[in-house]
Amino acid sequence: MEKPAYDLKSHAAFTDISPEEFDGLIIPGGRAPEYIRMNEAVTPIISHFFRENKPVGAICHVAQLLTVIPELMQWREYTAYPSCRPDVLACGAKYIDEQIHIHQNLVSGQAWPDLQDLCGNFLVY
C-alpha cells in the first residue's frame, strides 16, 4: 500500500514552462516520474537541460522518466533506486551502484536518504 503524497499545488503546467529561463533542473523521485513521463510537454523540458549542459539532479525513480530521452542518456552513467536498474540499462546507460554519482551534468542519487548529498553536489556543479 502506498503512502499518500504531499498535497502540493502546482504553480505552472509543463506547457507553461520555458526551460531557457532556468539554470538547472532537479527532478524528484517517488511515483511521479512514472506518471509525468507520459506528458508530451515534459520531454522537451528535460532534453533542454541535457543539450545545454545545465545541471540536472535526479533521484530514486527518475530513471523511469529519463527513458523518454534515450538518445541523450546513452553512454551516460547514473545511479537510481535499485529496482530502476533495468530502466537505466534500457537507455544504453551504465547503472552505478552508489548512493550518489556525478557524471557530466547529471547528479544522481538512489533514494530519499541521499537527498542532502544530491542537493549539495547539485549546488556546487
Active-site amino acid positions: 60-61
Render 24-72 in DSSP notation, one character per residue. -EEE--TTHHHHHTT-TTHHHHHHHHHHTT--EEEETTHHHHHTT-HHH
82 touches 53 (CB < 8 A): no
Residue 66, all three cell numbers: 529519463
Q: How far is CA 87 from CA 13, 18, 122, in A?
A: 26, 27, 22
How many residues in the chain? 125
Residue 80 per-residue DSSP state: -
